[in-house]
Amino acid sequence: MRIHFSNVNFSARTGPNTFAFRLASELAVRGHEIVDDRDYDACLVFIEPSSRIIPGKRVVQRLDGIWFKPEEFESKNASIKATYNLADHIVWQSNFDKSMTVRHWGEKAGTVIHNGISLSSKTSDVVLQDLRKKYDTIFVASANWHRQKRLKETIDFFFKQVDRGVNGYLIVMGSNPDHMIIHPRVGYTGSLPHDTCLAIYKSSDWLIHLGWLDHCPNVVVEALSVGCPVICTDSGGTKEIVRNSGFIVPESFKYDFQLLDYDHPPEINLDISLPPRPDVDNSHLDIRLVADAYERTFVR
């Protein structure tokens, strides 16, 4: 089958593009041809098209939610909604995304498919040896940081654990940290190569990801893929991929898919003790299972 990925840059490192590269690579291994927009059997549109939609060809739209700030709802969603109405099938990253979209735009034929990753890649487990000599519990956090990702709360949560007697260290990875505390127990790395990130996740005890109304963050998929459990909140779709492989922090505000300014997340109770570190079940994130599900959406 000839498949076109629209609105994708395979060389970019952002979450959607990283997942697109993984999915396209798996589909190519299976004999599918990844093509441009001149001729294809199925077009997979990431959010909204950036290339030609050929009349009569199968169109699948992959959605990670919609813009839901009140002042942006109509303007920024115009092309996304037009594609939603046009598409033959919708792929939602999470049930959270599906519920949000259906509430505002109505029912549509579609499937919930979480992001995936190869679970068979070789990843080093010998990093962080120097930190291990000094600290018993290594926490890591990673994002392209902005207020919705809650870096301040992440750091506050970490120090709550230190106050409770945890001999810990926090590694903050990713670009543009919007809250920084200079402290010997906290290190900031900036953006790192993908293989390095995986190695750090594998060598860490917990990933802290307290993002407000996140959809299906790739950093969580990546951490789980190498056996690192995740601390997340019960908002958005993150808890759907974490399942029992982590710890879920309850939100104080229960979001009901109304329009709101998501750049101002509500306060959360961070005075919580960690449970014992759980075993991680990441089988549902296998890119082969994810590709199976996408293949089914390409067939009428």
Locate the domains of the chain by residue range. 2-118+287-297, 129-281
Alpha helices in the chain (DSSP H): 15-29, 73-86, 95-105, 129-134, 151-163, 194-203, 218-225, 238-242, 287-297
Does 2-118+287-297 match 129-281 in CATH topology? yes
Instruction: Please determine, for residue 226, whether its predicted confidence score (pLDDT) is greater than 70.
Output: yes
> What residues have CB less than 8 Å from 164, skipping those under 6 apart?
273
Mean predicted confidence (pLDDT) in 89-102:
97
- Asked if residues 247 and 231 have their Cβ atoms less than 8 Å apart, the reply is yes
In the prediction, which pLDDT does 125 show? 67
CA-CA distance, 31 to 43, in Å (whole number)?
16
Mean predicted confidence (pLDDT) in 286-298:
98
Taken as a whole, the chain contains a residue count of 300
Q: How confident is the model at residue 61 (pLDDT cuts 50, 70, 90)?
A: very high
In the prediction, which pLDDT does 39 show? 96
In the prediction, which pLDDT does 15 show? 85
- Asked if residues 67 and 76 have their Cβ atoms less than 8 Å apart, the reply is yes
Sequence-ordered strand ranges (E) for 26-92: 33-35, 42-46, 58-63, 89-92
Mean predicted confidence (pLDDT) in 11-40:
95
Phi, psi of 31 (to 5 degrees): 100, 0
- Tell me how many helices (H) and strands (E) the chain has: 9, 12
> Which of helix, strand or coil describes residue 268?
coil
Level-2 CATH architecture, domain 129-281: 3-Layer(aba) Sandwich (3.40)
Mean predicted confidence (pLDDT) in 278-291:
98
Average of per-residue pLDDT values in the chain: 95
Distance of CA 97 to the CA centre of its chain: 12
Instruction: Please tell me the least confidently modeled range out of 10-14, 29-33, 154-158.
Output: 10-14
| pLDDT tens for each residue of 149-186 | 999 999 999 999 999 999 999 999 999 999 999 999 99
Q: How confident is the model at residue 68 (pLDDT cuts 50, 70, 90)?
A: very high
**Helix (H) / strand (E) containing 7:** none
Level-2 CATH architecture, domain 2-118+287-297: 3-Layer(aba) Sandwich (3.40)
